[in-house]
Amino acid sequence: MLSFVKGAWKLLVAIKDGLVLLFLLLFFSLIYMGIKAARADGEVPASGALYLALDGPIVEQPREIDQLSAVTGNGGPAEYRLRDVVRAIETAADDASIKAVVLDLDGFGGGGQVAMQRVAAALDKVREAGKPVLTHATFYDDDAYLLAAHASEVWLAPLGMVGVTGPGGSNLYYKGLIDKLGAKTHVYRVGTYKSAVEPYIRADQSPEARAAMEALLASVWQDWQANVAKARPKAKVTDYLANPLALLRTSGGDTAKAAQAAGLVDKLGDEIAFGKRVADLAGEAEDGGPGDFSTIPLTSYLRKHHEPTKGQVGIITVAGEIVDGDAPAGTAGGTTVSGLIRDALADDDIKALVLRVDSPGGSAAAAEDIRAALAEARRKGLPVVVSMANLAASGGYWVSTAGDTIFAEPATITGSIGVFGIVPSFEATLAKAGITSDGVKATALSGEPDVIGGVSPEFDQLAQASVEDIYGKFIGLVAQARKLTPQRVDEIGQGRVWDGGTAHQLKLVDRFGGIEDAVAEAAKRAGLSGEAATPRYFDPELDPFLKFLSTIGGSQERIAASGQPVARDWLSYAARRQNQIALRIVADLRGLIEGPSIRADCLECRSFTPAPAMKPHEKAGLMTVMMQWLAGGA
């Protein structure tokens, strides 16, 4: 017995020593990474080209990756904060050390039309300052080409193509799968156009939803075409899309030459040829090889040019799905965002607030938490101005009702004033496995919703009444905020989604403009000028471990991007889309089970934002879920 205890003790000591050694190795590795990153920043040339290698989407608020992903580098593609990209480009316009701005768009993940137009406007400022802007890619999709159209030189790889297609595509519908599994979905909704529940109750799109989406896409696509035509008049986008096969035949089947013949790109060349051209403009790299030019990376440039923090206009961001409770960056937790608003209120230097919204909605209760916090700010005398980005729909519009003034862009997707609730039950599914249920109830509502024995008619009636009550409150908030009658709001509500231009005509928004216009309006209302009229952002606190990595040089973007493959051709792009669709299937079905039962959400709006990329463990989990579904339905 004594020998067993001694052996066990030796084993525990060995494990402890191993963990200490592992911790020390990790610690010194992080220190090494920090020194290496700092040295790399010190080696940045005094002048050259600002280089934006955008290997992921541009977003309002990058998601926070977990600690394990931070260490292993499996956090998925990078996410670039919109305001950081814009700040770097606009600073470069007046920076004598920057000779050109270069965008490498291989692997670019888009970011939505409004965000692309904002970056494009920054590129225009660089060109107005007399500096060249060059882009290079193997494949340009809609978002990438909108940026490229604002460049002075658009390069395409010899094996590349311009894959502009316009917005739209297929939605996913799960009624067949739900029926096959024997499950039931109990839906409670208000709004003729509240199509967010359709994937769970239909096998196709309703005529009402189709008509609304056709009108929306036509307006957004027209806005895209007008922007590209103004920036690059020689680009024959309409002809290119009208008969691409004819143009391809004329070019001998060469997709790159076809794009060049249509005026979509200026030059064809590989990365070396492109690099040599940039080197002619911005200088060659020291000790570089062929095609290496004097490069000033985005991350290093942002470190040198810090974001101002002395402004008295507080910016609160509502980005991603609105969920109950706390949530990390990239998702709008009701408790998290309302807490940030209270933090801004507690700061005596903050004299006005701007709410930046880029969200399809989500939990009605969480949206109300955010709106109530903003209403408290107004009661305390602070002006509140809303700035809509790509999306401010359903719950995103709910929170916007707290603003004194609402700014949007013509391509903003907004509205979707409607509420729905959904509860699945599995009595038929369990019956297939021989499982039944029985019991005693004190009242008709005891044990409801009974997801194993079947939801009762009494619960159905109560749930529908609750959804109608929340919809009535939604209508009331909009009517009061927009100075419209409840009847009029109900007419333009009904869950219908609108583009920003139509929303302006319907008085759902006040003015066209971006975040800078909203900040200027908030400052004007608060009587601020000079440095005081500049913004100060209130963002969720970064995980302490990630903050530590950031301080030693390992930015979230670098950590997330390490080791990730890049889609550089049409088929690779299609494969990436396939992964995104698979992830959306899992998210939709998980939302059916785990999401809030009563939602102010716009499911169809999610196609207008970059889909999140799957991490390796998520891909494995997806395959497991798929296999379980197939086995269960067999």
Alpha carbon 533 to chain centroid, angstroms: 28
- Non-local (6+) Cβ contacts of 475 within 8 A are 417, 486, 489, 490, 493
Element (H, E) at 28: helix 2-42
Q: Is 194 a catalytic residue?
A: yes
What DSSP state is assigned to residue 609? S
SS3 category, 481: helix
Catalytic choice (394, 400, 416, 555): 394
DSSP for 205-268, please give it.
--HHHHHHHHHHHHHHHHHHHHHHHHH-TT--HHHHHH-HHHHHHHTTT-HHHHHHHTTS-SEE
- Cα-flanking dihedrals φ and ψ of residue 99, to 5°? -95, -20
- Which tokens hold the place of 289? 């090889």
SS3 category, 592: helix
* CA distance between the termini of the chain: 54
Cβ pair 601, 467 in contact under 8 A: no
Cβ pair 388, 411 in contact under 8 A: no
Q: Is 16 a catalytic residue?
A: no
**Token match 């159905």: residue?**
460
Catalytic choice (99, 131, 184, 194): 194
Pairing of strands 419-425, 184-190: antiparallel
Cα–Cα nearest to 85, from 26, 48, 126, 39: 126
Residues involved in catalysis: 194, 394
